[in-house]
Structure 1
Amino acid sequence: MIELLKKNSFFLISIGAVPSAIIRWQIDNILIVNIIGCFLLGFINSLPIAKRYKLIFGFGFCGSLTTFSGWSLKLVQLINQGFYKLFFFNSILIVIFGLFSVAIGHFLAKKIIN
């Protein structure tokens, strides 16, 4: 039974990840996709919906949309080019915007529910 649930979870996450990966491929701005993904994750995770929908939209869609590896590559490129101030600015900016976006999504979902 547990194996079936794991396979089902994998399938549900994949359903959300595929369209999100295509969207991510079309948007060439790491900051924008991470802000959108963080907002949606905060929103979806705060809704009283079934776990399967949270797997599809939260883990699958938002997880595939946001890009830690792309952000990390961008930071390494900034260091290699000698843009140290821009490196620190980007490092702090994306974390602050991400946290702020999750919080806004969370509070908006709570307002809609109540």
Structure 2
Amino acid sequence: MTAALVVVGAMVGAPVRYLIDKEVQARRDTLFPWGTLTVNLIGCAILGGLVGASVTSSVMALAGIGFCGALTTYSTFGYETVRLIEARAYRFALANVTVSLAAGLAAAIAGSAATKWLLT
């Protein structure tokens, strides 16, 4: 049952990721991967919110592992950072790593705090 929940969540998360990424990136004329950063931050905030809400294991499988797992993308983050380095866009590469890590952690903490606050 758990595996099925993960699959269903991923079936929603993957196309949402694609659509958000393409929409955000289409609005930017830069090498910086704004689309990937956006989906990763959204996913961090949602996952933090789920943890803060202490959801059941079924909800975590569906929304956390399935949806957020398919929505976010560490492999694309890594690929795009390497692509920036190869293009000698070192400042963009460093900014991508720094902002992704710091803002992702902040989004997860904020999501957790927000749901804890809302539920008390």
Task: Output the TM-score relative to the length of structure 1.
Answer: 0.89
Query: Alpha carbon RMSD of aligned pairs, Å?
Result: 0.9
Q: Which of the numbers 16, 21, 44 marks the counterpart of 1:23?
A: 16
Question: Which structure has the greater CA radius of gyration?
Answer: 1
Tell me the CA shift for residue 94 of structure 1: 0.6
**2:106 is matched by which residue type in structure 1?**
F
Once residues 48 and 91 of structure 1 are traced to their aligned partners in structure 2, the CA distance between those partners, rounded to angstroms, is 29
The aligned counterpart of 1:3 is: none
Tell me the CA shift for residue 49 of structure 1: 2.6
**2:65 is matched by which residue type in structure 1?**
F
1:12 aligns with 2:18: no
Unpaired runs of 5+ residues, structure 1, are: 1-7
How many residue pairs get aligned? The number is 107
Once the two structures are superposed, residues 9-38 of structure 1 have per-residue CA deviations (whole angstroms, 9 ceiling, x without a partner) of 211111111011011111220011011000
Query: Which aligned pairs between 1:72-83 and structure 2 lie closer than 5 A?
Result: 72-83=78-89
Once residues 77 and 34 of structure 1 are traced to their aligned partners in structure 2, the CA distance between those partners, rounded to angstroms, is 18
Once residues 8 and 39 of structure 2 are traced to their aligned partners in structure 1, the CA distance between those partners, rounded to angstroms, is 19
Once the two structures are superposed, residues 82-106 of structure 1 have per-residue CA deviations (whole angstroms, 9 ceiling, x without a partner) of 1112211111111011000000100
The aligned counterpart of 1:69 is: 75
Q: Which of the numbers 34, 41, 46 marks the counterpart of 1:35?
A: 41
Once residues 53 and 69 of structure 2 are traced to their aligned partners in structure 1, the CA distance between those partners, rounded to angstroms, is 17
Unpaired runs of 5+ residues, structure 2, are: 22-34
Once residues 45 and 58 of structure 1 are traced to their aligned partners in structure 2, the CA distance between those partners, rounded to angstroms, is 9
- Which 4+ runs in 1 deviate beyond 2 A? none
Once the two structures are superposed, residues 27-79 of structure 1 have per-residue CA deviations (whole angstroms, 9 ceiling, x without a partner) of 22001101100000000122133210111001111111001111111101101
